[in-house]
A and B are shown apart, each in its own frame.
Chain A
Amino acid sequence: MGMRFEQDGIGAAALRLLAGTGSVIALLAAWEVLARAGVVSEFLLPRFSDVVGRIWEDALGGVLFVQIGLTVWRAVLGFALAGLVGIVVGVVMARNRGANWFFDPIVSIGFPSPKIAFLPVFILWFGLDDSSKVLMTVFAAVFPVIVATAAGTEGVDKYLIWSARNAGASERDILHEIVLPAALPQIMTGLQVALPISLIITIVSEMVMGGEGLGGNMIQAGRFADSLGVFAGIVQIAIAGYVLIKGMEILRRRLLAWHQETQQISTF
Chain B
Amino acid sequence: MADASAAGAGGIRIANVGHTYRPPRGRPVTALEEVSLEVAENEFLALLGPSGCGKSTLLYLIGGFLPIESGGISVGGTPVAAPGPDRGVVFQHFALFPWKTVRENVLYGLEKQRLPKAEREARAAAFIEMVHLDGFEDSYPSQLSGGMKQRVAIARTLAMDPGTLLMDEPFGALDAQTRSLMHEELLAILKRTAKTVVFVTHDVQEAVLLADRVAVMTARPGRIKTVVDVADVGGAADAIRDPRFVEKVDFLWGQVRDEALAAQKGGAG
Residues of A whose CB lies within 8 Å of any CB of B are 157, 159-160, 162-169, 173, 177-178, 181-182, 184, 257-260, 263
Contact = CB atoms under 8 A, between A and B. Distances in A.
Contacts of B98: 182, 258-259
11 contacts: A162-B63, A163-B89, A164-B97, A165-B65, A166-B83, A166-B89, A168-B84, A182-B99, A258-B98, A258-B101, A258-B140
A258 B100 contact: yes
A176 to B, nearest CB: 12
A173 B112 contact: yes
Contact of B91 (A163, A182, A258): A163
B143 interface: yes
Given A169-B112, A263-B140, 5 more contacts: A163-B91, A165-B65, A167-B85, A167-B160, A259-B99
- By CB atoms of chain B within 10 A, which of A157, A164, A168, A260 has the most? A168
A162 B142 contact: no
A159 B97 CA distance: 10
Contact of A178 (B97, B101, B140, B142): B97
Contact of B88 (A159, A166, A177, A257): A166
Interface string B46-75: 000000000000001001010000000000
A178 to B, nearest CB: 7
Interface residues of B, number: 28
Contact of A259 (B60, B91, B97, B142): B142
B200 to A, nearest CB: 14
A8 to B, nearest CB: 26
B109 A168 contact: yes
B100 A167 contact: no
B264 interface: no
Given A167-B108, A167-B109, A169-B112, A260 B142 contact: yes
A165 B63 CA distance: 10
A100 to B, nearest CB: 14
A167 B96 CA distance: 12
Contacts of A160: 95, 97
Contacts of A168: 84-85, 109, 112-113
A165 B83 contact: yes
A257 B140 CA distance: 9
B112 to A, nearest CB: 4
Interface in B214-237: none
- By CB atoms of chain B within 10 A, which of A163, A166, A167, A184 has the most? A166
Given A168-B112, A258-B142, A260-B142, A162 B83 contact: yes
Interface in B99-125: 99-101, 108-109, 112-113
B93 interface: yes
Contacts of B109: 166-168
Nearest to B66: A162
A260 B149 CA distance: 15
Contacts of B97: 160, 163-164, 178, 181-182
Contacts of A167: 85, 108-109, 112-113, 160
B19 interface: no
A184 B99 contact: yes
A185 to B, nearest CB: 9
Contacts of B63: 162, 166
Nearest to B98: A258
Q: Sorted from nearest, which 3 A-B pairs have the closest CB atoms?
A: A167-B109, A159-B95, A168-B112
B112 A163 contact: no
B151 interface: no
B24 to A, nearest CB: 11
A166 B87 contact: yes
A263 B142 contact: yes
